[in-house]
Amino acid sequence: MLEFVIHLKKSKMLELPDIQSIKNWGIEVKNPFVIAGPCSAETREQVLETTAQLAQKGIHTIRAGVWKPRTRPNNFEGVGEKAMPWLVEAKERYGVKFAVEVANPKHVEVCLKNGIDVLWIGARSTVNPFTVQEIADALTGVDIPVLIKNPINPDLALWMGAIERVYNAGIRKLGAIHRGFSSFQNTTYRNAPMWQIAIELKTKLPQLPLICDPSHMGGKRELIQPLAQMSLDLNYDGLIIESHITPDLAWSDASQQVTPDRLAEILSALKTRQITVDNVEYQSQLEIIREQIDEADREILEAISRRMRLVEKIGYYKKANNVAALQMDRWHEIFSSRPEWARALQINPNFIEELYRLIHDESIKKQTDILDSDI
Ligand code: PEP
Ligand code: MN
Distance 313 CA to ligand 2 centre (A): 56
Q: What pLDDT shows up at residue 20?
A: 96
178-214 pLDDT, tens digit per residue, is 999 998 876 799 999 999 999 999 999 999 999 999 9
Task: Give the pLDDT of residue 275.
Answer: 74
CATH of span 280-372: 1.20.59.10
pLDDT exceeds 80 at position 116:
yes
Q: What is the mean pLDDT of residues 318-343?
A: 90
The 8 Å CB, 24+ separation contacts for 321-330 are 324/371, 325/364, 325/367, 325/368, 325/371, 326/364
Nearest CA to ligand 1 atom 10: 123
Lowest mean pLDDT of 57-61, 116-120, 282-286, 347-351, name the range.
282-286
pLDDT at position 6, please? 43
144 phi/psi in degrees, rounded to 5: -145, 145
**Greater model confidence, 194 or 373:** 194
Query: Which residues have CB atoms below 5 A from the ion given as ligand 2?
Result: 39, 253
- Enumerate the H helices of the chain as residue ranges: 44-56, 84-94, 105-113, 123-126, 129-138, 156-168, 195-204, 214-218, 224-233, 260-269, 280-320, 328-344, 349-372
Q: How far apart are CA 169 and CA 189, in angstroms?
A: 34
Model pLDDT for residues 127-185, shown as the tens digit of each residue: 999 999 999 999 999 999 999 999 999 999 999 999 999 999 999 999 999 999 998 87
Pick from 5-9, 235-239, 286-290 the range whose average pLDDT is largest. Answer: 235-239
Dihedral (Cα; 152, 161, 13, 229), 10-degree rounding: -40
User: Ligand 1 center to residue 258 CA distance, Å?
Assistant: 16
Averaged pLDDT for residues 337-364: 93
- The answer, yes or no, to whether residue 285 has pLDDT greater than 90, is no
Distance CA 48, CA 370 (A): 72
- At the topology level of CATH, where does 2-269 sit? TIM Barrel (3.20.20)
Which amino acid is it at 95?
Answer: G
Helix 195-204 vs helix 156-168: angle between axes, to the nearest 10 degrees?
40
Q: Name the residue ranges covered by the structural domains of the chain.
A: 2-269, 280-372
Q: Return the ligand 1 atom nearest residue 120 CA.
A: 2
Using the mean position of ligand 1's atoms as its centre, give its distance from the Cα of residue 33 in Å.
18
Q: If you average pLDDT over every residue of the chain, what do you get?
A: 92
Query: What is the distance between the alpha carbons of residues 276 and 282, in angstroms, rounded to a whole number?
Result: 9
Ligand 1-lining residues (CB < 6 angstroms): 39, 65, 69, 101, 122-124, 149, 179, 216
State the pLDDT at residue 12: 62
**Percent share of the chain, pLDDT over 90:** 80
Nearest atom (ligand 1) to Cα of 216 = 9
Report the alpha-carbon distance of residue 257 to residue 38 in Å, rounded.
7
Q: Give residue 341's identity as a one-letter amino acid code.
A: W
Rg of the chain (C-alpha set): 25
pTM of the predicted model, to two decimals? 0.80
DSSP β-bridge partners for residue 121: 148
Residues of the chain above pLDDT 70, percent? 96
Predicted pLDDT of residue 273: 81
Rounded to an integer, the average pLDDT of 79-89 is 98
